[in-house]
């Protein structure tokens, strides 16, 4: 099927040195399309973490002393190296994550964009000069790197979510200890390798794996770590936020979502349904910004369901390394079981399965693109983040009803609406309780745009100048003439 190879060694990166599995506890990395073992991943010991922390402290001293221009030069070299190795890294990503190779290549494009954008934006971490209060006095603010960072990233977009943290931290002048997801280590290791080969000094980037609860607690409580950043589930985010708050450390939390889509009756129904299905089943629904609850005006509901269902059934599901594949497997058995449980619960409460609803085959974590209609309001899929290729579609009659249902969950990451009415668009833009809003469009996260959730979906921002500011602290400077 392909000529690409998964790395035989998955090392830790500590203080500029790579450490393989020898002498470490290990865990298997599984190909979700075949359930074959790709490689063994070493777990960092507490001694490894101590060395990574000490290295990050030294690395911060070195890196923060470099000018933003010098840091940007190194980062842009790293982007060039990632560009040269894009095909190989994308293949590694598909083998360990499951997504189609075209999607992996697209993720690498966003990684490259993120590195370059952050490298340039680091040169623009401006303070401000205030009007003097007295003759001979200047008053100003300056932005400086906050210190060594502990970063934790998930498996669904493992490289770009690591890159968002890594590039912003480095652009600000911080060092970093990263724990990517143990399910998808290979592509993240290659990203770190590109930075190292570009000339990032030893200790500035450290990559560790292991027991997530043990590593997060150990890193967050260390006095060396000055900033915590996490992308992942709400329960884990709450736990890490609590740990960070106990040590009064700033924390950025980009957590789960349950994004509503309101489809009004003035749209091109077939076209909108196809767009919704395409974005829903992207990465098998394992996307924080994924459209998860579809509220369609009663006048066009049935037509929308028909068109959406046809699009779902037409999707080619298979191994991501096959050029024909449009949707790969779920990443792990946990998500497969979750998809089965959501469908069973909805069905038990009277929902109709309009398409899909079942596992595909017995090998690999494949699940059919699924459409549910006629759902009971208490169905679990309407209240818990799905993170799987199951789409519940419901009808509404008034905009107030649609908005109330859209906002009626504890999540507030993204929300979408499709309409030709400027009035409808303006209304939902104001009343949606979400940090990321799409009107007549779905947009993946962008390097220059901030993403941040309301309610249970997180604290703080990643991306854009706001994301860079998360790795900077502000000093106020009042300087008078010498006396």
pLDDT in tens, 316-370: 999 999 999 999 999 999 999 999 999 999 999 999 999 999 999 999 999 999 9
Q: What is the pLDDT of residues 245-278, one digit of tens each?
A: 999 999 999 999 999 999 999 999 999 999 999 9
- How far apart CA 446 and CA 444 sit, in angstroms, is 6
Cα separation, 375 vs 358, whole angstroms = 18
- The phi and psi torsions of 172 (rounded to 5 degrees) equal -75, -15
How confident is the prediction for the chain on average, in pLDDT?
97
Q: Evaluate whether 125 touches 468 at the Cβ level (below 8 Å).
A: yes
Catalytic residue among 118, 174, 288, 388: 288
Q: Which of 25, 77, 17 is nearest to 207 (CA)?
A: 17
**Confidence bin at 283 (pLDDT 50/70/90):** very high
Burial class of residue 483, CB neighbours in 10 A (0-12, 13-18, 19+): exposed
Task: Show the domains of the chain with their CATH numbers.
Answer: 12-255+457-476 (3.40.605.10), 259-446 (3.40.309.10)
Evaluate whether 303 touches 269 at the Cβ level (below 8 Å). yes
From 441, 306, 285, select the one nearest 365 (Cα to Cα).
285
Is 243:221 a contact under the CB 8 Å cutoff? yes
pLDDT digits (tens, 9 = 90+) for 27-54: 999 999 999 999 999 999 999 999 999 9
Q: Are 416 and 436 in contact (CB under 8 A)?
A: no
Mean pLDDT calculated for residue range 230-237: 96
pLDDT at 4: 74
Q: For residue 285, what is the DSSP state?
A: G
CB 229 within 8 Å of CB 163: no
The total of other beta-carbon atoms located within 10 Å of residue 350's CB is 10
Question: Is residue 3's pLDDT more than 90?
Answer: no
- The per-residue pLDDT for range 389-412, each reduced to its tens digit, is 999 999 999 999 999 999 999 999
Integer Cα distance of 14 and 22 in angstroms: 15
Active site residue 388: no
Closest of 410, 154, 113 to residue 287, by C-alpha? 154
What is the SS3 assignment for 77? helix
Q: Are strands 137-145 and 128-130 parallel, antiparallel or unpaired?
A: antiparallel
Residue 159: predicted pLDDT: 98
Other C-beta atoms lying within 10 Å of the C-beta of residue 185: 27
pLDDT of residue 444: 86
Residue of 289, 264, 483, 290 lying closest to 395 (CA atoms): 264
**What does the radius of gyration of the chain's CA atoms come to, in whole angstroms?**
23
The side-by-side arrangement of strands in the sheet containing 259-263 is: 352-355, 370-373, 390-396, 291-297, 259-263, 414-418, 436-439
Instruction: Find out whether 258 and 293 touch, Cβ atoms under 8 Å.
Output: yes
Residues 49 and 208 sit within 8 Å (Cβ to Cβ): yes
- In the DSSP assignment, the letter for residue 153 is -
Cβ pair 339, 370 in contact under 8 A:
yes
- Region 13-38: mean pLDDT is 97
Q: Tell me what pLDDT residue 325 has.
A: 98
Token readout for 411 is 């999540």
Q: What is the DSSP letter of 178?
A: E
* Structure confidence at residue 2 (pLDDT): 45
- Residue 201 in tokens: 């000094």
β-strands 454-455, 26-30: how paired? unpaired
Q: Catalytic site residue 174?
A: no
Letter string b/e over residues 10-37, b meaning 16 or more CB atoms within 10 A of that residue's CB: bbbbbbeeebebeebebbebbbbbbeee
C-alpha separations of 165 from 19, 159, 377, 467, 472 in Å = 23, 10, 37, 9, 13
Distance CA 215, CA 45 (A): 9
Judge contact between 289 and 267, C-beta under 8 A. Answer: no
pLDDT at site 1 = 39
Condensed to tens digits (0 to 9), the pLDDT of residues 300-328 reads 999 999 999 999 999 999 999 999 999 99
Could you tell me which residues come within 8 angstroms of residue 361 by beta carbon, excluding any fewer than 6 positions away? none
pLDDT in tens, 414-435: 999 999 999 999 999 999 999 9
Q: Whole-model pTM?
A: 0.97
d(CA 280, CA 88): 27
**Are 273 and 267 a contacting pair, CB within 8 Å?**
no
206 forms beta bridges with 177
The tokens describing 222, both together, are: 């260390």
**Residue 180's closest CA among 194, 162, 206?**
162
Cα(235)–Cα(384) distance, integer angstroms: 12
**Portion of the chain with pLDDT greater than 90, in percent:** 98
State both tokens at 55. Answer: 């290295």
Select which of 107, 121, 183, 254 is catalytic.
254
């Amino acid at each position: 099927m392909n000529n690409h190879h998964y790395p035989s060694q998955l090392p830790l990166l500590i203080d500029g040195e790579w450490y393989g599995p020898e002498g470490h506890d290990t865990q298997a990395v599984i190909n979700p399309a075949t359930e074959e073992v790709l490689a063994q991943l070493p777990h960092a010991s507490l001694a490894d973490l101590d060395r990574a922390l000490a290295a990050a402290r030294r690395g911060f001293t070195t890196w923060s002393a470099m000018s933003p221009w010098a840091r940007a030069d190194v980062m842009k070299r790293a982007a060039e190296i990632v560009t040269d190795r894009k095909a190989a890294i994308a293949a590694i990503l598909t083998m360990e994550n499951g997504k189609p190779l075209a999607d992996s290549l697209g993720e690498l494009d966003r990684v490259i964009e993120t590195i370059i954008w952050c490298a340039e934006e680091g040169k623009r971490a401006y303070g401000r000069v205030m009007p003097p209060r007295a003759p001979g006095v200047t008053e100003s603010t300056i932005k400086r790197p906050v210190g060594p960072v502990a970063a934790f990233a998930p498996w669904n977009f493992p490289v770009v979510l690591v890159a968002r943290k890594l590039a912003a931290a480095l652009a600000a002048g911080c060092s970093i200890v990263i724990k990517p997801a143990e399910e998808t280590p290979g592509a993240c290791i290659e990203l770190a390798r590109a930075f190292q080969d570009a000339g990032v000094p030893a200790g500035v980037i450290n990559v560790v794996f292991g027991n997530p609860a043990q590593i997060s607690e150990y890193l967050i409580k260390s006095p060396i770590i000055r900033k915590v950043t996490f992308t992942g589930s709400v329960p884990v985010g709450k736990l890490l936020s609590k740990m960070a708050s106990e040590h009064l450390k700033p924390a950025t939390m980009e957590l789960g979502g349950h994004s509503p889509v309101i489809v009004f009756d003035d749209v091109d129904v077939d076209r909108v349904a196809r767009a919704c299905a395409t974005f829903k089943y992207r990465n098998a629904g394992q996307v924080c910004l994924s459209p998860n609850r579809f509220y369609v005006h009663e006048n066009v509901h049935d037509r929308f369901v028909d068109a959406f269902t046809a699009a779902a059934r037409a999707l080619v599901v298979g191994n991501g390394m096959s050029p024909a594949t449009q949707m790969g497997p779920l990443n792990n058995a946990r998500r497969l079981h979750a998809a089965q449980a959501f469908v069973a619960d909805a069905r038990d409460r009277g929902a109709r399965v309009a398409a899909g609803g079942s596992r595909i085959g017995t090998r690999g974590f494949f699940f059919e693109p699924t459409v549910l209609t006629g759902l009971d309001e208490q169905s679990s899929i309407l209240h818990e983040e799905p993170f799987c290729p199951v789409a519940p579609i419901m009808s509404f009659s008034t905009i107030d009803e649609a908005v109330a249902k859209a906002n009626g969950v504890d999540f507030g990451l993204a929300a979408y609406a499709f309409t030709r009415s400027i009035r409808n668009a303006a209304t939902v833009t104001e009343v949606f309780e979400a940090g990321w809003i799409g009107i007549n469009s779905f947009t993946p996260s962008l390097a220059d745009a901030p993403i941040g959730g309301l309610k249970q979906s997180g604290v703080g921002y990643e991306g854009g100048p706001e994301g860079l500011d998360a790795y900077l602290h502000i000093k106020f400077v009042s300087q008078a003439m010498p006396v």
